[in-house]
Structure 1
């Protein structure tokens, strides 16, 4: 019997048990007609209970019973997981697997609501204010006004490397090197293992607030207080292009591949985004001198609304917070897809934006927003600290859980910020038993 015929046969079996047609049921109904009110209902309930509770699965062949129960249970738990926002891998046909994911995720949601999901710790080692933070794969890099940069293992709290640098306004690292943007208007590339300066980039006339780089392209980009964005050769240290058009400090640059098609770009094209207080500019990452801005995005033409110093771009969507709420643009069309307005948007800042959750914060709390309802589903108290106007002294940690809790991705760093006593305050997921 194929699946389609089996399902049709199963439905007919179910209907036969739930329809009052046999003489015994008719006799029961005839008797009940003569009863009144509550007595009739009670008698109906008592007499039909045994008739309607007969287990039709016992009439099926054993292998069909097992098949039915397995499929039903798996689909039920998968559906429950989908309601929590998790993307289901249909190749995993294990009810126990999806049940465990659901129960773990449900527990986390309860803990988030009751402020029991996180724990805190501190990293101590700098002797002056920490201005710059960058996180990757369980490692946190900190750049300080004490002319040093340190690399920390977040899980153990141990400092792995320490390098003498210039004063750091921005940092980014990989396994071999550290790149720093400085208040001395320059950028430098350092080798972790020796602490040696590999390359020095000179050309900005203001502090360098943001950097990004790509080894495949051999390209470094930087945003500065001199209102410009510069494109550099990462290996040679030479400036390839200076992009103008901003009229405020450029506080964020992002170098990313496009994942969508439009009139101006194709999937796989590298795109540069730069942001100031009021505008986000989109550039092709070409080597031509007369590079033209593809598009300028803003939330108010009269500059009455300020953008917050945090920008997110994943190749499909651009997300930024402002004084009046969160904005999400479609990168293919540049249309605004969504505006999430909140009561206290002027003081709320965006940390990270996923498919299911967004992570936000102000000077008092860390907030988890469910993007399906646009409601705050949890919060966590934060100690008193100073929010950077450039958005560099705070960051989100591991963000996979923002696309849906899967029972495993609720681990590691959630949030980090620098403190007035020169320490770094960490918020981490509390381990679940």
Structure 2
């Protein structure tokens, strides 16, 4: 059939085909397919794939493609990246999609970073960490050896760990290398806190002392407590030091002069923790920017003004039972907005603006399970056998790590959490360094550290 005759025939067939109903059209196509050979069937297959399997992601404007992608769960997004290079390119160029994925999982978001590949890597690293936590592969351990008697006090800051021992010494360690940077002769240390220049120690001999790291010299001594000093905190800008003692009192001192400025009374048990911290919220008793003093004993948490007036009154007393039937554990935490403390029932969180209990997390075995640190996304807990990471969004244990038989301390000074920024959400870079430290019966320090992320 020549070209002109074929075109005329094709037009006539097309007109007739369009006049048929759907069933007749299907029968017509079935008949033509049955008459077709391999060449025609291959042509038909290629044509149908183009018509039916249209790449909507490639054809849509980017704004619409990004909108659709935001409805997918993270695993589906990763699967879509494997479809083809074009899909991978589109998905990897959408910053909002990966920021949203990270935000939904609780990860920390820096809005100034608009690189989509950065947020994809953050998600992949965080997912890997969560898998490692579940499989007990996220951490590794090491030991610090150097003390010759029991280690009573630990304090961690910026990669450095200070230890105070019954061998009348305090040591400063580089956690990363395990090397002792400074070692100075002190009194028996029940609590320690340090910065780059100095070390402040509270002792079982009822005194507090300030020491210079580079020389080991005692540059100030604070006398006035009639019981062991279990907790200290200080602020150079305010030139203030605060202390809590077994004599049931809290004292405020001049850090430079060593003189006692004020004594707060009202506790009826050992004061095992004091915190000097700036408030970030407003209430009827304080404003943002005010420095607040918190103290805790076995049953109560007290909030004090930081004025220097004699016999100043407690602003607020917090407890979890009026009849003192429930004990608080010596792990008080305050970040300027929330007060967190664990008890024999579970973990309690108070709003510092209203002093109302915002949250109570019931623990499976609260008598043995203790709080180490509390963040926005995770909490770090431990008992006699394991270190636990709890996801605070679900209150489910995400992972655990075995612990050796460490030395027990009712005051909670012989174990601590290390780096805690990751508790507010993993950001791809804050899962490094010290996680947990505790003193051992052989006078060594047992460290749990993040394993390098693969």
Using the TM superposition, give the Cα deviation of residue 88 of structure 1 relative to its aligned residue in structure 2, in angstroms.
2.0
- Within 1, Cα distance between the matches of 2:333 and 2:368? 18
Q: Which residue of 2 aligns with 1:268?
A: 289
Give 1:235-250 correspondences, 5 Å limit.
235-250=256-271
- Within 2, Cα distance between the matches of 1:145 and 1:62? 66
- Per the alignment, do residues 359 and 283 of structure 1 end up closer, same or farther by CA in structure 2, a change over 3 Å counting? same
Q: Is the 8 A contact 1:130 1:143 kept in 2?
A: yes
Q: Is the 8 A contact 1:230 1:239 kept in 2?
A: yes
Unaligned segments of structure 1, at least 5 residues: 1-22, 36-46
Give the paired residue count.
397
Deviations 1:292-323 (A, max 9, x none): 10000000001010000110000000000000
Pairing partner for 1:102 from 98, 117, 123: 123
- Within 2, Cα distance between the matches of 1:320 and 1:358? 12
Q: Is the 8 A contact 1:352 1:360 kept in 2?
A: yes
- Within 2, Cα distance between the matches of 1:360 and 1:70? 38
Q: Which residue of 1 aligns with 2:411?
A: 390
Give 1:314-325 correspondences, 5 Å limit.
314-325=335-346
Q: Which residue of 1 aligns with 2:200?
A: 179
Query: 3-state SS of the aligned residue for 2:329?
Result: strand
Query: 3-state SS of the aligned residue for 1:305?
Result: coil
Q: Is the 8 A contact 1:190 1:197 kept in 2?
A: yes
Query: 3-state SS of the aligned residue for 1:142?
Result: strand
Does residue 372 (structure 1) correspond to residue 386 (structure 2)? The answer is no
Using the TM superposition, give the Cα deviation of residue 122 of structure 1 relative to its aligned residue in structure 2, in angstroms.
0.3
| Higher radius of gyration, 1 or 2 | 2
Q: Is the 8 A contact 2:108 2:426 kept in 1?
A: no
Q: Which residue of 2 aligns with 1:78?
A: 99
- Per the alignment, do residues 54 and 287 of structure 1 end up closer, same or farther by CA in structure 2, a change over 3 Å counting? same
- Within 2, Cα distance between the matches of 1:213 and 1:301? 31
Q: Which residue of 2 aligns with 1:136?
A: 157
- Within 2, Cα distance between the matches of 1:256 and 1:62? 48
- Within 2, Cα distance between the matches of 1:102 and 1:202? 53
Give 1:19-418 correspondences, 5 Å limit.
27=22, 31=26, 51-56=51-56, 69=90, 73-418=94-439
Q: Is the 8 A contact 2:369 2:381 kept in 1?
A: yes
Cα RMSD of the aligned pairs, angstroms, is 2.5
Unaligned segments of structure 2, at least 5 residues: 1-17, 31-46, 66-85
Query: 3-state SS of the aligned residue for 1:246?
Result: coil
Query: 3-state SS of the aligned residue for 1:205?
Result: coil
Q: Is the 8 A contact 1:181 1:208 kept in 2?
A: yes
- Within 1, Cα distance between the matches of 2:108 and 2:338? 19
- Per the alignment, do residues 50 and 150 of structure 1 end up closer, same or farther by CA in structure 2, a change over 3 Å counting? same
- Within 1, Cα distance between the matches of 2:376 and 2:61? 44
Using the TM superposition, give the Cα deviation of residue 89 of structure 1 relative to its aligned residue in structure 2, in angstroms.
2.3
Deviations 1:20-68 (A, max 9, x none): xxx9xx9599859xx9xxxxxxxxxxx99764531356557899999x9
- Within 2, Cα distance between the matches of 1:29 and 1:281? 87
Q: Is the 8 A contact 1:84 1:405 kept in 2?
A: no
Q: Which residue of 1 aligns with 2:83?
A: none
Q: Is the 8 A contact 2:109 2:427 kept in 1?
A: no
- Within 2, Cα distance between the matches of 1:61 and 1:428? 47
Deviations 1:129-177 (A, max 9, x none): 0000000000000000000000000000000000100000000000110
Normalization by structure 1: what TM-score?
Answer: 0.87
- Within 1, Cα distance between the matches of 2:61 and 2:202? 71
Using the TM superposition, give the Cα deviation of residue 385 of structure 1 relative to its aligned residue in structure 2, in angstroms.
1.6
Q: Is the 8 A contact 2:210 2:221 kept in 1?
A: yes
